């Protein structure tokens, strides 16, 4: 059987650049070399696309010093990556792209749009699902229609902060302290802060505004933080439930990636039918945003009532050693190599289905 070529795309210009590089090493290390050849393409923080020669270069960070430019051609007749070196162009055909990208300009539909133009199958959600899921405000608007409870929220635009007093008054009228302040478009808890009083709220709004022009302020939920993985195409399946035990006041970026005291529990004991509801709601939200391939859906289980409250959906969840998405499927007997193969096969299945629809038009 002829091997297919997978291009793993990583790095990127978002605040999750480093996490993406770690995810890429996990994915590349677990791709079945009997089935696939791997092409590695790294995107630097300033937006240069480079050919990467080895896994070791990713781990060491040396790949950013590369001098071979990589271009995924939007010309659908190519279905290839173009490598530019010493005024020469080498075209290498690729069968599928695995975008191991998190955050803006990677998880938000931009790269997905490029790959749609190029006619190259790719792992993960499509343009619309990626865009609305990356934007927490749009996700909330969609979930409002599903009958799934979520935290109360107030949306703020960065330009409104010129009249900070008015913004604060509006928030305080709608929500009680403590509140959480989040950039609408950011991941890995970047730019998120908690405020228990007005001064902290003002500081948190300024921090969030550094990451996005749209800001979401949510009521604080006294709840356990839980996550559920979704896998599949037209008939997606939910994994079991995992719980986050943050080493900080909440599961921010530092607690997630830099604090060894933060822990995850697979299959925690939850009250009543909370676990079943989480799995049901995870698939419901995934379908509502037109998800495909994979997503991780995050919830709270309220401590006093046991009620399940939706938090957010991540369409390209982390693939690091501490990432919940692959851990949840491993607990179901699907190891990383098998999981990666399933995701790649789903990419081919969607492309075949889309091709049939285009031919019918």
**Residue 359 belongs to some domain of the structure:** no
Is 242 in a helix, a strand, or coil? Answer: strand
Q: Do 233 and 138 fall within a single domain?
A: yes
- Helix locations, the chain, DSSP H: 17-30, 55-60, 110-118, 127-134, 136-143, 164-174, 198-209, 253-257, 274-288, 324-330, 336-360
Q: Are the C-beta atoms of residues 226 and 282 closer than 8 Å to each other?
A: no
- Checking if the pLDDT of 212 tops 90, the result is no
Of the residues 219, 247, 270, the one at which a domain ends:
219
DSSP summary character for residue 2: P
CATH number at residue 215: 3.30.1490.20
pLDDT for 254 equals 55
Q: Do 108 and 138 fall within a single domain?
A: no
Nearest-angstrom CA–CA distance, 43 and 50? 6
CATH number at residue 21: 3.40.50.20
- Region of poorest pLDDT, from 78-82, 193-197, 244-248, 252-256: 252-256
Confidence of residue 114 (pLDDT cuts 50, 70, 90): very high
Q: Do 30 and 139 fall within a single domain?
A: no
Q: Do 183 and 236 fall within a single domain?
A: no
**Residue 360 belongs to some domain of the structure:** no
pLDDT for 355 equals 74
pLDDT for 246 equals 72
Share of the chain above pLDDT 90, in %: 85
**Residue 290 belongs to some domain of the structure:** yes
CATH number at residue 244: 3.30.470.20
Mark 337-353 as b/e (b = at least 16 C-beta within 10 Å): eebbbbbbebbeebbee
Q: Do 207 and 145 fall within a single domain?
A: no
Nearest-angstrom CA–CA distance, 266 and 276? 14
pLDDT for 361 equals 45
**Residue 357 belongs to some domain of the structure:** no
Q: Do 67 and 87 fall within a single domain?
A: yes
Residue 127 tokens read as 């343009």
**Residue 128 belongs to some domain of the structure:** no
- State the average pLDDT for the chain: 92
Q: Are the C-beta atoms of residues 205 and 189 closer than 8 Å to each other?
A: no
Q: Do 194 and 84 fall within a single domain?
A: no
Of the residues 122, 141, 172, the one at which a domain ends:
122
Total domains present in the chain = 3
pLDDT for 302 equals 97
**Residue 52 belongs to some domain of the structure:** yes
CA separation, residue 159 to residues 44, 208, 212, 289 (Å): 29, 12, 11, 28
Structural domain span for residue 91: 4-122
Count CB atoms within 10 A of the CB of residue 116: 17
- The pair phi, psi for residue 70, each rounded to 5°, is -115, 130
Among the listed residues 40, 57, 56, 42, the one whose alpha carbon sits nearest the alpha carbon of residue 6: 40
- CB-hemisphere CA count at 13 Å for 246? 14
Q: Do 321 and 178 fall within a single domain?
A: no
Nearest-angstrom CA–CA distance, 8 and 138? 28
Helices (H) and strands (E) counted in the chain, each on its own, are 11, 16
Q: Do 171 and 261 fall within a single domain?
A: no
**Residue 310 belongs to some domain of the structure:** yes
Q: What are 264-318's pLDDT values in tens digits?
A: 999 999 999 999 999 999 999 999 999 999 999 999 999 999 999 999 999 999 9
Q: Do 86 and 201 fall within a single domain?
A: no
- Checking if the pLDDT of 255 tops 50, the result is no
Q: Are the C-beta atoms of residues 106 and 131 closer than 8 Å to each other?
A: no
Q: What are 86-110's pLDDT values in tens digits?
A: 889 999 999 999 999 998 899 999 9
Count CB atoms within 10 A of the CB of residue 101: 29
Looking at the DSSP assignment, which residues form a beta bridge with residue 23? none
- Checking if the pLDDT of 188 tops 90, the result is no
Concatenated DSSP letters of 267-318:
S---STTHHHHHHHHHHHHHHHTT--EEEEEEEEEETTT--EEEEEEESS--
**Residue 355 belongs to some domain of the structure:** no
Of the residues 202, 219, 236, the one at which a domain ends:
219
Q: Are the C-beta atoms of residues 329 and 341 closer than 8 Å to each other?
A: no
Q: Do 235 and 145 fall within a single domain?
A: yes
pTM of the full predicted structure?
A: 0.90
192 or 25: whose pLDDT is higher?
25
pLDDT for 251 equals 46
Q: Do 240 and 332 fall within a single domain?
A: yes
CA torsion angle 302 150 234 318 (round to 10): -70
């Amino acid at each position: 059987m002829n091997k297919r070529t997978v291009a793993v795309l990583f790095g990127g210009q978002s605040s999750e650049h480093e996490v993406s590089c770690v995810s890429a090493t996990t994915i590349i290390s677990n791709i079945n070399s009997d089935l696939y050849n791997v092409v590695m393409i790294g995107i630097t923080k300033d937006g240069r696309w480079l050919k990467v020669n080895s896994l070791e270069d990713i781990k060491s960070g040396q790949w950013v010093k590369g001098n071979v430019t990589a271009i995924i051609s939007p010309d659908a007749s190519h279905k290839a990556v173009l490598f530019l070196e010493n005024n020469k162009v080498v075209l290498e055909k690729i069968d599928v792209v695995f975008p191991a990208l998190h955050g803006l300009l990677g998880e938000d539909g931009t790269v997905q749009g490029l790959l749609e133009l190029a006619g190259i199958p790719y792992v993960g959600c499509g343009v619309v699902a990626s865009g609305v899921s990356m934007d927490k405000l749009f996700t909330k608007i969609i979930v409002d229609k599903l009958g799934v409870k979520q935290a109360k929220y107030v949306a703020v635009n960065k330009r409104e902060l010129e009249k900070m007093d008015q913004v604060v008054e509006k928030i305080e009228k709608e929500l009680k302290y403590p509140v959480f302040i989040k950039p609408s478009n950011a991941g890995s808890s970047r730019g998120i802060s908690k405020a228990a009083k007005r001064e902290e709220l003002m500081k948190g709004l300024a921090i969030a505004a550094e990451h996005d022009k749209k800001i979401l302020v949510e009521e604080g939920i006294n709840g356990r933080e839980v996550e559920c993985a979704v896998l599949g195409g037209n008939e997606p399946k939910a994994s079991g439930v995992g719980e986050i035990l943050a080493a900080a006041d909440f599961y921010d970026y530092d607690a997630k990636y830099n604090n060894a005291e933060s822990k995850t529990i697979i299959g925690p004991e939850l009250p009543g039918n909370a676990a079943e509801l989480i799995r049901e709601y995870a698939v419901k939200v995934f379908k509502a945003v037109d998800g495909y391939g994979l997503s991780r859906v995050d919830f709270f289980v309220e401590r006093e009532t046991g009620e399940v409250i939706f938090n957010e959906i991540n369409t390209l969840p982390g693939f690091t050693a501490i990432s919940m998405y692959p851990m949840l499927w491993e607990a179901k007997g699907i190891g990383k190599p098998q999981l990666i193969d399933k995701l790649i096969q789903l990419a081919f299945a969607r492309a075949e289905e889309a091709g049939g629809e285009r031919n019918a038009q």
